[in-house]
Structure 1
Amino acid sequence: MSTSDDFVAITGGPGAGKSTLVEELHRQGFPCIPEAGRCILQDQIVIGGRARHERDSLLFAEIMLSWDMRSHHDATRRAGTVFFDRGIPDVVGYLLLLGRPIPAHVTAAARTFRYHQRVFLAPPWPEIYTHDRERTQDLDEAVRTHDAMAEAYTRHGYQLINLPRTDPESRAAFILRRLSPQPES
């Protein structure tokens, strides 16, 4: 059974290579949790639902929170390190991005459902940024999202580690080196 020390969150703005990195970690054999927001958007688009950034952002945030809490519970049944493509503090960051107050239950969730102390932050990366069916933000909003995520995780006591702008294999190796216990000197 995993504990929160085994749960590693990867965050940042959209289009910074997070999901590709998580896919690489999965390819290497690690259990991984997909990004709630993207999965929710895919479903909402198919059914014509309103839980989307541009239609009902607060409903979207509530569904992301529920999804992320369920994912956190599910991860406790896995052994070893589990990588998360975003985490519960990302909902706080999303609300900060919107300029909305953070409800007490969202703060309680971010305090209750914890991740490894080190959180990996993907910086904005204009050279790889693209739009797709779910990612409709422009680069400026992607940068503001990155900043909001950094603020959210910092508020909740996490140590942010900036990911290098490099290929997914090198990024995965970077993370694994920083998670390995360091020998005492």
Structure 2
Amino acid sequence: MTLAERLRTALKEGHEREVGLMLSDTRDPRIEGDLILAPAAVLVAITDRPEPGLILTQRSAKLRKHAGQVAFPGGRIDDDDSDEIAGALREAQEEIGLIPDMVDIIGTSDRYHTFTGFDIVPVLGVIPPDLPLFPQETEVAELFELPLSFALNPVNRIRKSMIFQGTERHYYEIFWEGRRIWGITAAILANLSRRLGHDQPA
């Protein structure tokens, strides 16, 4: 069975079972009440190698939102995009030069609502290893590959808390080779870990 087939089966089974996601796992803990959200999508690009990896970006420090953070390629869905998958593929091509035809789409994972007003759909796809990817300098400072097994292992995920406007809020952090992966990206990885059967929520 290929990597794509294994992931497709695991994701399907994950969506068929109750994994008990907490509200903070799918919604930025700073959101209170109703918030108008713009549709967005990110591409969770998994490299097809014996030890699969995840393609992640370090966002430019000059960006207005989520500057300097580790993120999946992605962004707002345009009117010309037919759906979330099309939007994620277009954004990945713009940000890291990933040709859409090189992506074997697996499916989608749990949505995440951001404090900055986006309804993000994570789109999973398998890509060949060692593609000649390159960052789009106005948005992406650099890109790197994180081992998938490390990213999905619950041992490597820390649940932290902060006080925001007098209320305790929770979020996740993952540290790898000096990089801090947190917020939206870490929450998407936590949800994906559960959907793929790597752990159960506390």
More strand by share: 2
TM-score, length-normalised on structure 1? 0.30
Greater helix fraction, Structure 1 or Structure 2: 1
Q: TM-score, normalised by structure 2?
A: 0.29
